[in-house]
Amino acid sequence: MVNFQREIRRLRRMAVGKDETFREQVIVYISQLGHLGQSAYYMEAYPTEYAFYKAEARKALGDLVTQIQMSCALLGFDFEEIIMEGFVSFRDRMKDVAGRKDHG
């Protein structure tokens, strides 16, 4: 996976003069999640405009990934390690769910 943490942080400082605080970053997450949710809603509500809203969803997802990389840089986390830890956590939860389903 491509990791642009350093470049994203450098561009942010160049444009704004400082890093966002983590709290400010979370507000951006909420905004991007709102755009993503709106796109999902409109994809179903307006099927003739599905392709347009799918493209909007793609943009919102890209913005979220970029913001997550910024947060990782700010907090001193390696983005790729976070992705791996998230996958391992998801995999383990799915194994637990499948195990309960088989025994229940």
Whether residue 53 has pLDDT greater than 90: yes
Task: Provide the pLDDT for residue 1.
Answer: 62
Q: Contact, 16 vs 83, CB < 8 A?
A: no
Flag whether pLDDT at 45 surpasses 80: yes
Determine contact, residues 60/35, Cβ cutoff 8 Å. yes
pLDDT tens track for 4-35: 888 888 888 898 888 888 899 899 899 999 99
* Number of residues assigned to the chain: 104
How many whole angstroms separate alpha carbon 56 and alpha carbon 35? 8
pLDDT at residue 18 in the model: 84
Report percent pLDDT > 70 for the chain: 97
- Indicate whether 104 pLDDT > 70: no
Model pTM? Answer: 0.80
